[in-house]
Every structure is written in C-alpha cells, then in structure tokens.
Chain A
Amino acid sequence: DGGITQSPKYLFRKEGQNVTLSCEQNLNHDAMYWYRQDPGQGLRLIYYSQIVNDFQKGDIAEGYSVSREKKESFPLTVTSAQKNPTAFYLCASSTPRGAPAKNIQYFGAGTRLSVL
C-alpha cells in the first residue's frame, strides 16, 4: 500500500561523522520535505523539493544537505557541521498546490537521531 518509508528508525552519530537518513515514497507525489522536531517545539523545515533535481533551503538548513535524483527518494545528510543533531527527523510528501488535496503533507514514521 502507498506511503512514506523512513529508515532507519533509530540512528546514532559519532563526533565528526556524516549520517544519511533515508526517505522513500510511493504516493507519486512531486513535493518532498524534511522537518526536525525538538522536544516541546513544532516542526521546523530543513529542506524541501518541489520537483526532481531541484530543492530549496528551509528555515534551518545549516549543517544539512539533500539530493533529489528520483521522484520517490529524498535522502537527508546530517553533516558534522550540524552541532546539535539530536532530534526527531520527519520526512513528508505532498501533491502540488491546486490539486484537489491542496497542500496536505503526508508524513513518514520518523527517524530519531542521537549523538554518541
């Protein structure tokens, strides 16, 4: 059945290490997003992509990188430049604005990243 798959569910990063979080969707959505959630806070947008081979920075892009080589996939790399990476990371996708469902974003189950 259709949905968004994030892996792994839990991830540990060592100092100075880059780690990549996977996000795959089979909903045929054009747009994909990465959010970060910290305790007691809302979701903050890291990066988003409206179409393959194109992506834009969100509100907190520093220390992160993304790629969008395929419509189904939008991996997020947490680089060593991100000094406070411990958080819950959520991937989402949506249909384009103007479609019947407007900009309803559908989320994966999340990846919890911790620093060793």
Chain B
Amino acid sequence: DQQVKQNSPSLSVQEGRISILNCDYTNSMFDYFLWYKKYPAEGPTFLISISSIKDKNEDGRFTVFLNKSAKHLSLHIVPSQPGDSAVYFCAASANDYKLSFGAGTTVTVRA
C-alpha cells in the first residue's frame, strides 16, 4: 500500500513561470518530508526538506509547503528554468531510518 502519492505523473511549464508539484500521504506518523530531483540514469539528489513542526521552508527558488491536516505537501519552483526539467520525488519519514517515496512527477520546462 503506497503511503506517499504523487498523483500527477507529469507537469509542463513555461520557462520563468511557477512549477507546483503536489504530494499526498496517508501515514499520520510521518514527521519529516523531503523532495528529491532525479535526472535520467543518475541517482536522486536532495533538494529541500521540511519537519512536521513547520508549514513552510524556503531555499532559493524552492519552497515546500506542508498542510498536516490535509496530509498534503507541495513544492514550488519559482522561476522555473530549463535545468529544472527532471523527475521530482516526494519522500516521507516516520521517526526511523526508512524513507517512503512517491512515484515521481516528471517536470518539463519549455523555453
């Protein structure tokens, strides 16, 4: 049973505009959330994270929002750049070593 879901398999956005990626989770024990970016044939690289005690975390062009009551988080990328074209994975952790990953959203930034 998948505990982390990314319901949009793909997203196309124009360069300079905002990309919004969504992620839903079912396990109320999750207390730490991460976003990873992955290029083809490479390993994922860590982007940004948020603890459940916060509702927003910002790092440059990347902002993650957490809505605990809705069990929903989102990643905003502003402005979107061609190098942002990649697969983005949402992941969650429940006070242990394991991460549960979503299926990923493929972002394509159009020039």
- Chain A residues within 8 Å of B, Cβ to Cβ: 4, 6, 31, 33, 35, 40-45, 48, 50, 58, 88, 90, 92, 94, 96-97, 102-110, 112
Contacts and interface: CB of A to CB of B under 8 A. Distances in A.
A97 B96 contact: yes
Given A31-B97, A41-B103, A108 B34 contact: no
Nearest to B36: A107
Nearest to B102: A42
Contacts of A105: 46, 99
A90 B44 CA distance: 9
A102 B49 contact: yes
A57 B89 CA distance: 22
B97 A97 contact: yes
Nearest to B34: A104
B49 A110 contact: no
A112 B93 CA distance: 26
Interface string B25-57: 000000010101000011111100101000000
Contacts of A31: 97
Contacts of A97: 95-97
A72 to B, nearest CB: 17
Given A92-B43, A106-B46, 7 more contacts: A42-B2, A42-B104, A97-B96, A102-B51, A103-B97, A104-B34, A107-B44
Contacts of B102: 42
Interface centre among A43, A107, A108 (most CB of B within 10 A): A43
Nearest to A107: B43
Given A41-B103, A103-B32, A110-B41, A50 B97 contact: yes
Nearest 9 A/B pairs, CB to CB: A107-B43, A42-B101, A43-B101, A42-B103, A103-B93, A107-B44, A109-B43, A108-B43, A31-B97
